[in-house]
Amino acid sequence: MNTVTDVITQPAFPAITGQRDTMAVTKLDTPLEKTVGNPFVEKPRMTCRDVFVHYGESCAIKDVSIDVAGNEVLAMIGPSGCGKSTFLRCLNRMNDTVSSCRVSGEIRLDDMNIYDASVDVVPLRARVGMVFQKPNPFPKSIYDNIAYGPKIHGLTRNKAELDEVVETSLKKAGLWTEVKDRLAEPGTGLSGGQQQRLCIARAIAVSPEVILMDEPCSALDPIATAKIEELIAELRTQYSIVIVTHAMQQASRVSQRTAYFHLGNLVEVGATEHIFTNPKHRLTEDYITGRFG
């Protein structure tokens, strides 16, 4: 495991900028709606097919098809407003809370079509958890922040089991040693980075399969960011993680696959190393070399 300082100073892939000369000269300039690279994997946990998202008349996601693999970190990058958050929120039906929003196409978690009328979104959002940009602990104690989910989902039978889930979740989120003597204190009293790890622990407590993270470090300082990045690397051994990030260095450090969005289109998907060193599409290259965005 790298030290915190290593993580901060570690170059992503050999300089994202200044690579133009070594990149293949001819880049694909195919129509936006045709995703280049490979959006599909052999054993997907989630499959998204022909997904469109509209807010009223305006189309925010255009015909996106992509898989999420098990035990991977999939990074979603692209200029502000390109639809990253919108697409991420489709994966656990968080867009249901936006009245003007309509999602079409098919999104499956294993064999379940998550938009099927029979699907209850409450257990779905436990299986596909979410961590937001701004840490949002409940106005409750550290203990109750974690215990809340297992209680409402009926995952524990008694106090001893609940204590166990709280401890395990905080340990998995790398927060236990920092908070074990102050579990009764409010979650909102923690530092920003600790609050974000508390929110990750809260997501973990209900035994998710997939964790969605929307720019989880954008409100954090570099040390707290490095800790979250280390945590993401560890969590990957047990969960699938889909992370939206505007920090390309972060995408290159934490993810195995990267998806590049542009104006609601999924332009390119590939192994992170390839996306950052030799993207196929001209738009991806423009973005990662800093000429667009």
Give the residues lining the site for Mg ion (CB under 5 A). Answer: 85
Beta-strand runs (E) in 87-141: 101-109, 112-113, 128-131
Instruction: Please state the φ and ψ torsions of residue 68, each to the nearest 5 degrees.
Output: -115, 125
Where in 228-257 is the site for ligand ADP (CB under 6 A)? none
d(CA 165, CA 205): 6
- CB of residue 225 to Mg ion, shortest distance in Å: 17
Residue 120's CB is within 10 A of a number of other CB atoms, namely 7
d(CA 245, CA 242): 10
d(CA 49, CA 47): 7
| Among Mg ion, ligand ADP, none, partner that 123 touches (CB below 5 to 8 angstroms by kind) | none
- Among 35, 47, 85, 258, which residue interacts with ligand ADP (rule: CB under 6 A)? 85
- CB of residue 96 to Mg ion, shortest distance in Å: 18
| Among ligand ADP, Mg ion, none, partner that 255 touches (CB below 5 to 8 angstroms by kind) | none
- Among 39, 44, 83, 216, which residue interacts with ligand ADP (rule: CB under 6 A)? 83
- Among 3, 9, 17, 100, which residue interacts with ligand ADP (rule: CB under 6 A)? 100
d(CA 134, CA 196): 8
Contact 223, 193 (CB under 8 A): yes
| Among Mg ion, ligand ADP, none, partner that 86 touches (CB below 5 to 8 angstroms by kind) | ligand ADP
How far does Cα 275 stand from its chain's mean position? 18
Using DSSP bridges, classify how beta strands 44-55 and 58-69 pair: parallel, antiparallel or unpaired: antiparallel
Q: Which stretch binds ligand ADP (CB under 6 A): 21-29, 73-81, 134-142, 161-169?
A: 73-81
Half-sphere exposure of 265 (CA within 13 A, CB side): 14
Residues 6+ apart with CB under 8 A from 151: 162
- CB of residue 85 to ligand ADP, shortest distance in Å: 3
The verdict on 198 binding ligand ADP (CB under 6 A) reads no
The verdict on 98 binding ligand ADP (CB under 6 A) reads yes
Q: Which stretch binds ligand ADP (CB under 6 A): 80-88, 131-139, 180-188, 278-286?
A: 80-88
- Among 60, 66, 109, 251, which residue interacts with ligand ADP (rule: CB under 6 A)? 60
Residues in the chain, total:
293
- CB of residue 265 to ligand ADP, shortest distance in Å: 12
The verdict on 152 binding ligand ADP (CB under 6 A) reads no
Query: Which stretches of the chain bind ligand ADP, using CB under 6 A?
Result: 55, 60, 78, 80-86, 98, 100
